[in-house]
Structure 1
Amino acid sequence: MLSIAEKLDNLQRHTTDSEQLLIINDISWQMYESLLEDLADNSYLRIAYLEGILEIMSPSRRHEFIKTNIGRLVEVYLEETRTRFYGLGSTTFRQETVARGIEPDECYCINCEKPVPDIAIEVVVTSGGINSLEIYRGLQVPEVWFWENNCFSLYYLDNGNYQTLARSRFLPQLDLSLLAGYVVSPEPMDAVIEFRQKIREQRQK
């Protein structure tokens, strides 16, 4: 049986055009924290932990392209609407008391900094991993956005459980369909320029 170190080595050797998931059961919190420390200099891998189950993802080129586009476009919207924000990227959020930890693709605190982000964004290219929404529920993250199949699905934490949303509670004027159209643009710079102009036009109406 391969050790965790050997499994990680195999994971890191894959080609950048494919996405790889490694799921390991029966991992203690101490082992999880030790692994985070060992991989502190490897910002490429994404690590999630849920009650003894560890997921390590090596994201694909497509995954990183999309998540970068989303982050850039969301920040354009925040800038243009003069919404004060704090971008925390893929910061690791974890809490031992609920045995949960995760690194969002992108995340933001709105108006002021907080212990956990107001909005966490996850890009789903490969299914079959840990239930990340359950991790976010335990960490009490108010709003989670999933990007899957070229569209957004939003969830808002209400009385301890997530409910689906048509619009963001934190950014209620943001047109998610418009945003989604620019996320998939093959020309990121053109998408940013056009999206910025659309926002300005909408604000002038």
Structure 2
Amino acid sequence: MVSMILNNLSQFPLEASDPEERFITSGVSWEAYESLLASLGDRSSFRVSYLLDTLEIMSPSRNHELDKENIGRLLEAYLEENRIRFWGLGSTTFRNRDKQAGKEPDECYCIATDKDIPDLAIEVVYTSGGVNTLEIYQRLGVKEVWFWQDNQFRIYYLQDNNYQQISQSQLLPNLDLALFAQYVTINDPLEAILEWRKQVRSN
């Protein structure tokens, strides 16, 4: 099973202009999932998700990675300027055998205190379909999930073991996400971070 999956991954194109590629297969045991993770090691070119017996592997596009990096830098600048303690865990693999769920976020953070599971996970979405991302995060116990799609954020907060879509972050209630989104879309990352820090300081 693992060798078959790895063979399929070798067919993924890696050109900068290519869109995201997804490989999805069902009937994958937990043992096969963990064996695949071990085989891939720290190869950051893939994001692996697992829910029950379904496995999804995504090869992100160049634009996907640009947005991911921009969001992370801008969010960390906001946290720094507001003296909010955080632990950035990037695309760390989080998994729970009992819940049969595993995920590698695009970005994720523990807020205020370090924890085994992040408080916040961020997903950049360029293509739809695949496994149910919110169900994976619900099984893992991530408090808040941000989806970046079509140049805007959709926010979900875990309440009574179910996600509710909300208009404002509960973890960072003073962060103006509509304004934040404007800086994410600035083409020059240096200009974006410098202007964003000025904006945060002025508030």
TM (norm. structure 2) is 0.96
Distance in structure 1 (CA, Å) of the matches to 2:39 and 2:101: 18
Quote how far apart the aligned CAs of 1:5 are.
Answer: 2.4
The residue that corresponds to 1:111 in the other structure is 112
Alignment of 1:1-205 (within 5 A): 3-11=4-12, 13-17=13-17, 18-202=19-203
* Matched residue type, 1:15: E
Quote how far apart the aligned CAs of 1:16 are.
Answer: 2.7
Q: Structure 1: where are the runs of 5+ without partners?
A: none
The list of structure 1 runs, each at least 4 consecutive aligned residues, that deviate by more than 2 angstroms after superposition, is: 13-17
Quote how far apart the aligned CAs of 1:71 are.
Answer: 0.1
Distance in structure 2 (CA, Å) of the matches to 1:154 and 1:41: 29
**RMSD between aligned alpha carbons?**
1.0
* Matched residue type, 2:88: G
Give identity over the alignment, percent.
52
Q: Structure 2: where are the runs of 5+ without partners?
A: none
* Matched residue type, 2:8: K
Quote how far apart the aligned CAs of 1:127 are.
Answer: 0.7
Quote how far apart the aligned CAs of 1:72 are.
Answer: 0.2
TM (norm. structure 1) is 0.95
The alignment covers a number of residue pairs equal to 200
* Matched residue type, 2:29: S
Distance in structure 2 (CA, Å) of the matches to 1:143 and 1:5: 32
Distance in structure 2 (CA, Å) of the matches to 1:176 and 1:54: 32
* Matched residue type, 1:201: S
Deviations 1:67-88 (A, max 9, x none): 0000000000000000000000
Distance in structure 1 (CA, Å) of the matches to 2:135 and 2:15: 30
Distance in structure 2 (CA, Å) of the matches to 1:48 and 1:172: 29
Distance in structure 1 (CA, Å) of the matches to 2:46 and 2:146: 20
Distance in structure 2 (CA, Å) of the matches to 1:160 and 1:44: 32
Quote how far apart the aligned CAs of 1:149 are.
Answer: 0.7
* Matched residue type, 1:175: D
SS of alignment partner, residue 10 of structure 1:
coil
Distance in structure 2 (CA, Å) of the matches to 1:191 and 1:41: 29
SS of alignment partner, residue 97 of structure 1:
coil
* Matched residue type, 1:154: I
Quote how far apart the aligned CAs of 1:121 are.
Answer: 0.3
Deviations 1:42-84 (A, max 9, x none): 1211000000000000000000000000000000000000000
Distance in structure 1 (CA, Å) of the matches to 2:4 and 2:37: 16
Distance in structure 2 (CA, Å) of the matches to 1:150 and 1:112: 30
